[in-house]
Each structure stands twice: as C-alpha cells, then as structure tokens.
Amino acid sequence: RKGVVGSLFDSDFFAGFNPSVGPDGSVFTKDGTVFRIPLPGRHNAENAWHAIAMCGRLGVAPGVCAEALCAFSGLRRRLEKVGASRGVAVFDDYAHNPAKIRAAWNAVAEGGRRVIGVWRPHGFKPLRLMMDDLEGSFSDLCRNGGILFVMPVYDAGGTADRNVNSDVLVERLLRRGAPARFVATMDEAAMRACDSARDGDVILVMGARDPRLPDLCREILAGLERRFR
C-alpha cells in the first residue's frame, strides 16, 4: 500500500487545515473530527495532520487518532517544557538551523509571550554555512522584544576550521540592532537568562549535539527559583 499522503508543498492536502494555535497546544477539525494536540507550534499541528492522514490510509479510526494525539506528551528536547517558576517557563529544544529555530521560537511566543533565547551552535562549519540565514532569522525573531544569548560553538573535535565562532554572529546581529549577547560559559548563560526574565516570559534553550543543554535548562530553572525566593 502506498504511504505518501501529502506534503507541505501540496495545497490540496492542506485544504481545510486551519488550526487554532495557542501556547498550550492546537485544535483543528479534519473530516468532522476535532483533534487536540497538547504541543505548541503550528509545525506540530502540521505534523499531526500528516499523522492522521497516514493513519487513515492504514484504517485507523479518526476517534482513535484523536485520543492518541490528546494524550501525546511529546518527545525529549522537542519543545520540552522543563518547568516554570513565578510565571517564567523554560523550554528545551533541539533547534539547530534557521527553519527549526524559527519554528521553536514562534511556537513558544504564541499568546504574545516574550522569548529569551539561549542558543549553542552545534558546529563550526554549520555556523559558517548558515551565517546569513541565522542572522536574518534571529534579527526577525528579536523584533518583538526578544533577547538572544549565544554560547560558543560546540566543539566536537576533528579538523574543523575554527576561525568563525559565535561572536561573529553576535556582532552581525548587533549591527542590525538585534539585542544579542555572547555568553562565554553555561553558567553565564544561565545567569543572564535569569536576570533578563520577567513574569510571563519564556526562556528557550536551543542547540544540538551538546549533551549538557538539558542540564543548562535545569540550572536556569533553579536560578529562577533562587531569584524569586
């Protein structure tokens, strides 16, 4: 049985797709069935739309799909809500390229929430190759009051050209008027993020490869607890 059901570039496949997207998830109707997914972001609603279509091809009833989606709690490091303190939520995401960064940032910004981004580039070559797109993306995302803290490139060793580091991106963002800052260590990243946060904000930690990023999220959450104690 063929498994292709549609794509992001197929307008007919998305006919009728009009999700109500909020900070706590999305609601949409497909073929008369209401679906709720407790994950923020339009991209997650699009993923669910694809999953429903595939399940339909396999004979799974819409009601079964609806129950499964409503109970789906997400995946680790994919817009994972680590916790919240005094109205400030902390999210962890694997976003490492411009498209994924935009999707994650816009998802947690739903409802007009201000985003404090903490990002670690996952390699020297990817940073160099994506520099222009990263500059444009972060510049756009910070226009609504957002703040960005950029950590040093995660160095996995090897023979990579290390002449271009995170400070180059930060300098380019500053020239465009974006509120970006280079932070040399994870401790500094946690401190700056906590000091910048106010009630209603979201702190979004992003990056790939570095296994310590979840620890950074927990450090930020602990810092918020100490700050508001």
Mean pLDDT of 42-51: 90
pLDDT at 4: 54
Do 190 and 216 touch, CB atoms closer than 8 A?
A: yes
Counting residues of the chain whose pLDDT is more than 70, the rounded percentage is: 93
More confident residue, 115 or 7: 115
CA gap 122, 126 in Å, rounded: 7
Question: Is residue 62 very low, low, confident or very high in pLDDT (cuts 50, 70, 90)?
Answer: very high
User: 138-166, pLDDT tens digit by residue?
Assistant: 999 999 899 999 999 999 888 888 999 99
The beta strand positions in the chain, using DSSP E, are 20-22, 25-30, 33-37, 80-85, 88-93, 115-120, 147-150, 180-182, 202-207
User: 9-23, pLDDT tens digit by residue?
Assistant: 555 667 778 888 888
C-alpha 134 chain-centroid distance: 14
Mean pLDDT of 181-207: 97
User: 170-181, pLDDT tens digit by residue?
Assistant: 999 999 999 999
Q: Which domains does the chain have, with CATH numbers?
A: 20-71 (no CATH), 80-227 (3.90.190.20)
Distances (CA, A) of 65 to 16, 36, 79, 187: 18, 10, 21, 43
Average pLDDT score, the chain: 91
